[in-house]
Amino acid sequence: MKILYFLLLFFPIEAFSVNIISWWGYLDQDLKESITKKCKTEINIDEYFSTEEFLRRTKNGNYSILIYSMDAYNLISNKIVRIENSNILKNYHKNVRSSFSRNKMSKYSNIYALGTSGYLYNKKYYSKEEFENLDLVLAKYSNSKVILGDSMIENIRLLGHKDLNEVNKSIIDEFKNKFKNNKVLFTNDFTQEISISGIQLGYVWLGFANSNLDFIVDKKFNFVSADLISLTENSVKAKCVMNELSSKKTLEKSVFKNNYFSPYSDFNENYSNKFNVFYKNYMENFDKNVWVGSFDKVNYDRMNILWKKIKISLVQ
């Protein structure tokens, strides 16, 4: 007993477990218990609400597995290890497999969830055809309220920027000019906000395409965003947990619950017909889309400062 006490004193229980950090709400208790049993290891899960929080907590945190937005890949690439994932990739939807395999990230990560952003709109105010030109829509409905998701990269894409690392402070004026006739609200509680009287348009992630409002992706700015899952160590137990979390069975339960897309499938019986039509089209055209990309550390910090200034300029 003294020896055991001595070991625990110097090696806390986390040292004998697989520690995971993930977006809030991704991993539930049933999934944790199932993988614990399958991999015969203790699992600890920490959750976060933003990429900034993820980066802050992983700076000194002892995590075996990271689940994170791909825009943070370059910022944590020095922490993760190369993986053997051919058995995972071969089962992805063929267009996802083709596109992801050409990306260097595929050597160090699996896809946990796929997404994109588009316009969530109330057809009482807008027609689908109008979204061929967002500027005309915003001008036509001046003084209307517009909500934007609090996502730096996705909103920069909305303005048509392809090379994120070349964006400079002139983007503040670009945003001000884009929404000069509209009242802008930044939020991540889209379903509540867009139902409020006066809120007529939102630029949001695709999960809300399954709401009772209509959703359309702008063909000019279509891109693929993803949450990735990576290892920071090559232990047998960590690799087992990683493989289970990356499996089709896990993702098609966990990811669909959060209204994202799995890299494996092109439909899900639990979704509405409207959403499944969108999902199938998304997969069929996947190889034509551009990955959202990742900043380097210098430009990430620089853009975070600009993003705060952009938000202040639009809500004044």
| 85-113: pLDDT as tens digits | 999 999 999 999 999 998 888 999 999 99
Q: Is the pLDDT of residue 81 over 90?
A: yes
Whether residue 241 is predicted with pLDDT greater than 50 in this model: the reply is yes
Taking CA atoms, 104 is separated from 133, 161, 170, 232, in Å, by: 34, 22, 31, 17
**pLDDT number for residue 5:** 47
Q: Please enumerate in sequence order all residues whose Cβ is within 8 A of that of 38, keeping only pairs 6 or more positions apart, or say none.
A: 240, 244
Provide mean pLDDT across the span 266-285. Answer: 73
The per-residue pLDDT for 190 is 61
Report pLDDT for 151.
76
User: Token pair for residue 220?
Assistant: 């000019």
4 vs 208, higher pLDDT: 208
Chain-centre distance for alpha carbon 133: 26
Q: Can you give the pLDDT at residue 7?
A: 44
**Is 239's pLDDT higher than 70?**
yes
Tally of CB atoms within 10 A around 117: 28
Average model confidence (pLDDT) across the chain? 81
* 160-194 pLDDT tens trace: 776 777 788 899 999 999 888 888 888 766 655 55
Q: What is the mean pLDDT of residues 48-67?
A: 92
13 confidence band (pLDDT: 50, 70, 90): very low
Q: Which of 141, 142, 164, 144 is nearest to 153 (CA)?
A: 164
Q: Which residues of 158-182 are buried (b: 16+ CB within 10 A; e: fewer)?
A: beebeebeebeeebbeebeebeeeb
User: Given this model, what pLDDT does residue 19 score?
Assistant: 96
Please, what are the domains in the chain?
8-115+225-280 (3.40.190.10), 117-221+296-315 (3.40.190.10)
Q: Which pair of tokens denotes residue 240?
A: 């087992």
> pTM of the full predicted structure?
0.83
| pLDDT of res. 11 | 44
For the four alpha carbons of 35, 39, 41 and 47, in that order, the dihedral sign comes to: negative
Predicted confidence (pLDDT) at residue 38 exceeds the cutoff of 50: yes
pLDDT tens per residue, range 219-233: 666 678 899 999 999
Choose from 1-15, 61-75, 207-221 the range with maximum mean pLDDT: 61-75
| Residue 28: Cβ within 10 Å count | 13
How far is it, in rounded angstroms, from Cα 77 to Cα 90?
Answer: 24
DSSP string, 63-118: -SEEEEEGGGHHHHTTT------HHHHTTS-HHHHHHHHTSGGGGT-EEEEEE-EE
Tens digit of pLDDT for each residue in 19-33? Answer: 999 998 889 899 999
The yes-or-no verdict on residue 126 having pLDDT over 50 is: yes
Q: Say yes or no to pLDDT of 53 above 50.
A: yes
pLDDT band at 158 (very low <50, low <70, confident <90, very high): confident
Of 210, 306, 190, the closest CA to residue 256 belongs to 210
Mean pLDDT, to the nearest integer, of 305-310?
89
Instruction: Report, in this order, helix, strand and coil percent for the chain, each rounded to 5.
Output: 50, 20, 30
Q: In this predicted structure, which of 63-72, 130-139, 270-279 has the lowest mean pLDDT?
A: 270-279
How many angstroms separate the CA atoms of 134 and 154, rounded? Answer: 16
